[in-house]
């Protein structure tokens, strides 16, 4: 596997990352912590927490694993049996939105038109990220397999041997050709370390995962909803470029897709990020 740098500055290395709505089959942190009630309940009426009270631990774990195996199989992705424990941990540790730490930023400006947000300009301070680069046969496979490795790191496969905590968004770094018509199969999955682990990041047991310090970065970001796949990403890049007053100030061949909600959700919330040149 080819690993490379995956810094926000647009720099180096192919990335490993995976998309993930129903259409693209992505499995993300949000998938594992906020399942749709009707997807995990036989009756469609009970929540995961309510079911957990009446389920044996093994039964609950098996159902969660089966759910993600079914979702992934439709996209030529296999979810191994050893993913049962990370899936179960992430679900049980993130039963409420208050447990999700958002990556801090400073809002610099906003551009609106007729009450519609066109884009925001934000500043993110430097920080530690766990990231992995992948090169699978398809873009979707790269993202999915890369993220499952990140999941294992979050859920005890780290030097502390404990659950590290959830941060949002989970980002994917995508790279395109010069005219933004093709996305590379090399993609990057990146997870921002929670505040309590920023000073001394736990080291991954998986050598494919790299802990990097990403420099302070200014980004232009535009929200969009729905699936994230090659077609929608290319369309969002084009739409964002049209909104920017000076697109030439941004890096032209690396972009970020930030995901905030369960990709199985019918109205998934995402952002496209353009990185300002330094």
- Classify residue 198 by burial, with Cβ atoms within 10 Å: 0-12, 13-18, 19+: middle
What are the per-10-residue average pLDDT scores of the chain (278 residues)?
A: 50 37 42 41 40 56 77 73 77 64 96 93 98 85 84 92 91 90 89 96 96 97 87 93 91 92 65 94
| DSSP 8-state class, residue 102 | E
Domain ranges in the chain?
99-276
Say what the pLDDT of residue 148 is.
87
Beta 100-102 vs 166-168: how paired, if at all?
Answer: parallel
Say what the pLDDT of residue 41 is.
40
Number of neighbouring beta carbons within 10 Å of residue 77: 22
What's this model's pTM, rounded to 2 decimal places? Answer: 0.76
> Among candidates 185, 180, 219, 212, which has minimal Cα distance to 198?
212
Say what the pLDDT of residue 274 is.
97
Say what the pLDDT of residue 35 is.
42
Which residues, 6+ apart, have CB-to-CB distance to 149 below 8 Å?
Answer: 132, 189, 206, 208, 209
> Among candidates 26, 21, 17, 23, which has minimal Cα distance to 172?
17
How many Å apart are CA 234 and CA 253, to the nearest integer?
12
**99-276 carries CATH number 3.20.80.10:** yes
């Amino acid at each position: 596997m080819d690993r490379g740098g995956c810094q926000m500055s647009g720099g180096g290395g192919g990335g490993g990352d995976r998309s993930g709505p129903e259409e693209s089959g992505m499995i993300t942190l949000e998938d594992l912590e906020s399942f749709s009630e009707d997807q995990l309940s036989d009756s469609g009426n009970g929540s995961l927490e309510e079911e957990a009270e009446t389920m044996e631990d093994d039964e609950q774990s098996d159902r969660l694993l089966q759910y993600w195996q079914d979702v992934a199989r439709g996209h030529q992705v296999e979810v191994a049996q050893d993913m049962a424990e990370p899936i179960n941990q992430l679900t049980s540790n993130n039963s409420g939105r208050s447990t999700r730490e958002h990556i801090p930023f400073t809002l610099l400006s906003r551009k609106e038109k007729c009450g519609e947000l066109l884009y925001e300009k934000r500043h993110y301070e430097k920080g530690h990220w766990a990231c992995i680069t992948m090169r699978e046969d398809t873009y979707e496979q790269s993202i999915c397999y890369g993220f499952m490795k990140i999941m294992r790191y979050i859920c005890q496969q780290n030097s502390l041997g404990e659950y590290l905590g959830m941060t949002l968004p989970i980002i994917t770094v995508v790279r395109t050709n010069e005219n933004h018509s093709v996305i590379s199969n090399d993609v990057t999955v990146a997870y921002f370390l929670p505040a309590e682990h920023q000073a001394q990041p736990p080291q991954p047991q998986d050598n494919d995962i790299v802990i990097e310090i990403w420099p302070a970065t200014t980004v232009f970001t535009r929200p969009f909803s729905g699936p994230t796949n090659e077609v929608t990403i290319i369309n969002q890049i084009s739409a964002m470029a049209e909104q920017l007053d000076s697109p030439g100030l941004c890096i032209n061949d690396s972009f970020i897709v930030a995901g905030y909600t369960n990709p199985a959700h019918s109205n998934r919330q995402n952002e496209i990020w353009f990185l300002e040149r330094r």
